């Protein structure tokens, strides 16, 4: 759903070296600035691609690293981050699927109807079985949806806020009744809001579901096999899987939990690790130059940005927000901090999420597009009209203690210093950083927070609901500026009219630069060792069964 924590841990040595890079490369960026960079390190090995080349051969076993470390659970209802989702997406399926080309298509539900604004009826796919061979039934679907709606431990319950009832209305049919029209709800069933698990398994094991000794019971192409604490989670191919169009050439996968950049890079280069999404930025140059495998880059709904967390300080002033965003060398940060994998974003919502509003949002984004270079002089002019007592307030930014995030923080502080703002950069342990996002007591009066954000689904209303609507997970400042437009859009059936409302919201957010800055949009990287190929290069691994596309190369 989102990434409250940065993508990986880094050693203290890497942090010191990387921080020096930003100071050397960006501290002089002013006006049309943008530091120089090593082009060999910032140039992708290939143009962006959705899928890596298909293979043919079978592979008995591979090792795949999940860069964020060991998950706390593999219960999909509690899965909303890189590591658990990267594993669960191959085991537990949803009613609809969001594909690597950012489309939403039928999956466990083959079709739906919307006979009136407050009713959604779903036809279920026949021939689907759980790993124990028992058929998926409408009862399992109803139980799964109700569990999502009512269980307080579910991360997806808020998406059921407008649901009045869920009922079995046929042997292979489920009907959802709403309290009021909600034209986002249906698409959200392509996230774990629409996950289907076996009712009997959950009723039998209760809160132990998702733990090492119990696992889960789902319908996906890979079945939970074994969880060795501190070492790996193993999944094995489910030969009774319904979707025969997926290759499923890899029989067994061991998901390992390395988090150290150097150890991950070494494991990839040596072949001890066959593949990973999100390989360390610090190791990209080595990986691109290696014959041990290949690095691919694909499109992604990922944004590195700043969340406005406090309106009581200087960040409560729109001109201060806009001046700071304008003064930041986003272009240089994309090149230096993210090794060329990051480019300045025109809007708070990135293109991969434009969805039904693609044409209108693309047009509006083009009208406000910049190259992301620091515009120091313009920022200073904007600040000239800000009252002195506002400019004198210190602005605080909290980032986790990791190489990339510290570099980012240093670059932002440099921008603030150059335009005369009082700015304090606070670096906190990465393991506790998420508390600043979710715990008001920990956050206190912090003005800005780092985040690397991704939404549930490729739909701009999902992004806006999480980041800019009252109650949204990433709306820490309590911004209310688009609540009315958002409510109207959710209840609007006509896509064209809904799209126009989305543009109005994006325009307001851009004009106010609140409650999230337009930052950097990232690409998605995947490393495949020489013996495997076929995985999606696009960022789809958090809900889509990416491993089912893997196959051998014959090497």
Q: What is the mean pLDDT of the chain?
A: 91
The pLDDT score that the predictor gives to residue 167 is 98
Work out the pLDDT band at 31, boundaries 50, 70, 90.
very low
> What integer pLDDT is reported at residue 17 of this predicted model?
31
Contact 263, 71 (CB under 8 A): no
Alpha carbon distances (Å) from 357 to 81, 260, 399, 482: 26, 40, 33, 17
Question: What tokens does 11 get?
Answer: 């050693």
Q: ∠404-408-414 over CA atoms, to 5°?
A: 145
Average pLDDT over residues 9-36: 30
Q: pLDDT by residue (tens digit) across 200-259?
A: 999 999 999 999 999 999 999 999 999 999 999 999 999 999 999 999 999 999 999 999
Q: What are 278's two structure tokens?
A: 């999100």
Q: What's residue 403's pLDDT?
A: 86
pLDDT of 432 reads: 86
The conformation of residue 315, written as its DSSP 8-state character, comes to G
Average pLDDT over residues 117-125: 98
Question: Could you tell me which residues are beta bridge partners of residue 17?
Answer: none
Is pLDDT above 50 for 342? yes
pLDDT of residue 14: 30
Q: pLDDT value at position 33?
A: 28
- Whether 10 shows a pLDDT value over 70: the answer reads no
pLDDT band at 466 (very low <50, low <70, confident <90, very high): very high
**Mean pLDDT to the nearest integer, 522-537:** 97
pLDDT per position as a tens digit, 307-335: 999 999 999 999 999 999 999 999 999 99
> At a CB cut-off of 8 Å and minimum separation 6, what does 129 contact?
135, 136, 219, 240, 242
Over residues 486-511, the mean pLDDT reads 98
pLDDT at 431 (0 to 100): 79
Range name among 8-17, 148-157, 490-499 with the lowest pLDDT average: 8-17
Checking if the pLDDT of 184 tops 50, the result is yes
pLDDT at 491 over 50: yes
Task: Please say whether the dihedral angle defined by the alpha carbons of residues 289, 292, 296 and 300, taken in this order, is positive or negative.
Answer: negative
Q: Which residues, in sequence order, are bridge partners of residue 297? A: 525
**The pLDDT of residue 35:** 27
pLDDT over 70 (residue 22): no
Q: Which own/partner contact pairs does 47-51 have at CB distance under 8 Å and 24+ positions apart?
A: 48/297, 48/298, 48/299, 48/523, 48/537, 49/296, 49/297, 49/298, 49/537, 49/538, 50/100, 50/101, 50/298, 50/299, 50/536, 50/537, 50/538, 51/100, 51/534, 51/535, 51/536, 51/537, 51/538, 51/549
N-term to C-term CA, the chain: 36
Nearest-angstrom CA–CA distance, 396 and 221: 46
How many angstroms separate the CA atoms of 47 and 295, rounded?
11
pLDDT of residue 56: 87
Query: What is the reported pLDDT for 34?
Result: 28
Q: What pLDDT does 146 receive?
A: 98
**Mean per-residue pLDDT, 374-400:** 97
pLDDT at 3 over 90: no
The pLDDT-based confidence of 25 (bands split at 50, 70, 90) is very low
The answer to whether 442 and 351 have CB atoms below 8 angstroms apart is no
Of the pLDDT bands very low, low, confident and very high (cuts 50, 70, 90), residue 21 is: very low
Is the pLDDT score of 365 beyond 60? yes
Output the pLDDT for position 39.
29
Q: What are the backbone angles phi and psi of residue 266, rounded to the nearest 5°? A: -60, -40
Residue 27, pLDDT > 80, answer no
């Amino acid at each position: 759903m989102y990434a409250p924590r940065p993508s990986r841990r880094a050693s203290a040595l890497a942090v010191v070296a990387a921080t020096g890079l930003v100071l050397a490369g960006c501290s002089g960026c002013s006006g049309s600035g943008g530091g120089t960079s090593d082009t060999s390190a910032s140039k992708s090995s290939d143009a962006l691609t959705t899928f890596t080349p298909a293979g043919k051969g079978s592979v008995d076993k591979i090792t795949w690293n999940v860069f964020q470390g060991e998950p706390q659970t593999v219960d999909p209802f509690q899965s909303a981050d890189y590591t658990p989702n990267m594993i669960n997406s191959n085991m537990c399926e949803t009613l609809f699927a969001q594909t690597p080309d950012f489309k939403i298509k039928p999956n466990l539900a083959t079709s739906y109807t919307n006979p009136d604004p407050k009713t959604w009826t779903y036809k279920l796919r026949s021939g689907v079985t759980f790993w124990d061979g028992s058929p998926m039934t409408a009862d399992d679907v109803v139980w799964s949806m109700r569990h999502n709606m009512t269980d307080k431990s579910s991360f997806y319950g808020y998406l059921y806020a407008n649901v009045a009832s869920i009922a079995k209305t046929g042997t292979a049919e489920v009907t959802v009744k709403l309290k009021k029209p909600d034209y986002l709800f249906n698409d959200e069933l392509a996230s774990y809001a629409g996950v289907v698990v076996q009712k009997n398994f959950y009723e039998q094991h209760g809160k132990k579901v998702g733990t090492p000794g119990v696992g889960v019971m789902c319908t996906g192409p890979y079945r939970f096999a074994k969880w060795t604490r501190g070492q790996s989670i193993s999944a094995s191919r489910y030969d009774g899987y319904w979707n025969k169009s997926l290759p499923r050439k890899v029989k067994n996968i061991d998901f390992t939990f390395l988090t150290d950049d150097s150890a991950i890079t070494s494991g990839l280069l040596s072949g001890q690790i066959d593949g990973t999404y999100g390989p360390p930025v610090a190791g990209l140059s080595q990986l691109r130059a290696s014959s041990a495998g290949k690095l691919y880059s694909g499109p992604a709904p990922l944004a590195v940005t700043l969340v406005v967390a406090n309106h009581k300080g200087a960040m409560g002033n729109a001109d201060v927000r806009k001046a700071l965003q304008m003064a930041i060398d986003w272009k240089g940060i994309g090149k230096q901090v993210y090794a060329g994998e990051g480019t300045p974003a025109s809007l708070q919502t990135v293109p991969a999420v434009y969805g039904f509003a693609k044409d209108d949002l693309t047009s509006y984004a083009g009208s406000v597009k910049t190259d992301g270079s620091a515009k120091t002089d313009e920022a200073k002019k904007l600040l000239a009209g800000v009252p002195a007592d506002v400019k004198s307030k210190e602005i605080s930014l909290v980032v986790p203690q990791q190489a990339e995030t510290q570099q980012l923080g240093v670059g932002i502080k440099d921008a603030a210093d150059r335009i005369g703002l009082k700015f304090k950069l606070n670096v906190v342990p990465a393991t506790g950083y998420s508390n600043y996002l979710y715990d008001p007591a920990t956050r206190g009066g912090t003005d800005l927070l780092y985040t690397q954000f991704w939404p549930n689904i490729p739909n701009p209303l999902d992004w806006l609901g999480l980041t800019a609507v009252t109650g949204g997970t990433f709306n820490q400042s309590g911004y209310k500026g688009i609540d009315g437009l958002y409510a109207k859009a959710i209840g609007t059936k006509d896509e064209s009219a809904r799209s126009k409302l989305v543009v109005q919201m994006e325009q307001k957010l851009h004009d106010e630069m609140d409650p999230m800055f337009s930052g950097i949009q990232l690409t998605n990287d995947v490393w495949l060792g020489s013996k495997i190929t076929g995985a999606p290069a696009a960022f789809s691994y958090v809900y889509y069964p990416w491993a089912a596309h893997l196959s051998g190369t014959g090497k």
